[in-house]
Structure 1
């Protein structure tokens, strides 16, 4: 049986693996393409590293510029990310039980971008299936063909035996075979 705080537990694991993925980025990876809207590894890593701060700004009711990066050099993105990830987890631990399920959308965002980053750099780091499963379940609850916006291309078909991450990124409009 899972606890009401399972979304925060899984978000914590999503943050850990995103930080680990950022640690794998090397200078010779920065100009490689990714599956994310034509972004390079440099752009995707910076976007991923900025995510915890953006999530906190939103939680505080502040205006969030989702296009804003971290403003830090690529070699310190992982450390920048981890500091803000700790702040984000502290935020969620202070939330009442009836609000913690909202952490799943952050898990979805982190799961997709972590997969994309590792795919682009060729790093075989294993990923937590529960992160992908919770992220996919969240996206399937509200992401439709009509509200995908610029961030999500149409869902990509995958075989029935696709992995949890392949299903997540395919639903988010990324081709896991690309």
Structure 2
């Protein structure tokens, strides 16, 4: 699937979707109940979340109600479901003026570009979570992971951190000295590495 037009402004988001899509393509039906680094979710719940959050970003940007086709996204053709969510998100973020908009979220005001960064970080990191859960290589797009980590260090404040289910992110964890860029990002966002 071609994920995006070749827009420089949305390239990071496009790459995050592509990375996670590559991992999703490796998931077998027997892995849906496996545990993930996100204590609240098994693989099925994680997939439901990131398919839904792709659509959430588009909904938040446009100010329209969130449309998710069904409660359980982790059934049927996983890639088709994800591709549909990716298309909705990319169309929204690539629309004229989208990145300059001001978006009101329950936890603050953000530009469309800042919202896009959140969605990219969420998608990429959950791709890492999925890779860990299914035993797939977690050395995902090192350049993208490094860029997302630089942004996260600026954008993730302590107010967003807390115990699983209470904060958006857990307390920053220490990554091993030989950790990949994706591992370092995951550790900063509170995942055990």
Q: Which runs of 5 or more structure 1 residues have no equivalent in the other structure?
A: none
**TM-score in terms of structure 1 length:** 0.82
Aligned length: 171
The within-5 A match list for 1:146-161 is 146-149=159-162, 150-161=167-178
The within-5 A match list for 1:62-101 is 62=64, 70-96=71-97, 99=100, 101=113
**Which residue in the other structure is 1:171 paired with?**
188
**Bigger helix share:** 1
- How far 1:70 sits from its partner (Å)? 4.6
The within-5 A match list for 1:135-150 is 135-149=148-162, 150=167
**Which residue in the other structure is 1:34 paired with?**
36
Whole-angstrom CA distance in 2 between matches of 1:89 and 1:135: 18
Is the alpha carbon distance of 1:7 and 1:131 closer, same or farther for their aligned partners in structure 2, counting shifts above 3 Å? farther
Contact between 1:18 and 1:114, CA under 8 Å: does it hold in 2? yes
**Bigger strand share:** 2
Structure 2 SS opposite 1:146: helix
**Which residue in the other structure is 1:133 paired with?**
146
**TM-score in terms of structure 2 length:** 0.76
Structure 1 segments, 4+ long, off by >4 Å, are: 63-66
Whole-angstrom CA distance in 2 between matches of 1:144 and 1:126: 26
Contact between 2:27 and 2:134, CA under 8 Å: does it hold in 1? yes
Match of residue 125, structure 2, among 112, 120, 123? 112
Give the stretch that moved more between structures: 90-99 or 53-62. 90-99
Give the stretch that moved more between structures: 52-61 or 112-121. 52-61
Q: Which runs of 5 or more structure 2 residues have no equivalent in the other structure?
A: 1-6, 101-111
Higher relative contact order (CA 8 A, sep 6+): 1
CA-based RMSD: 2.6
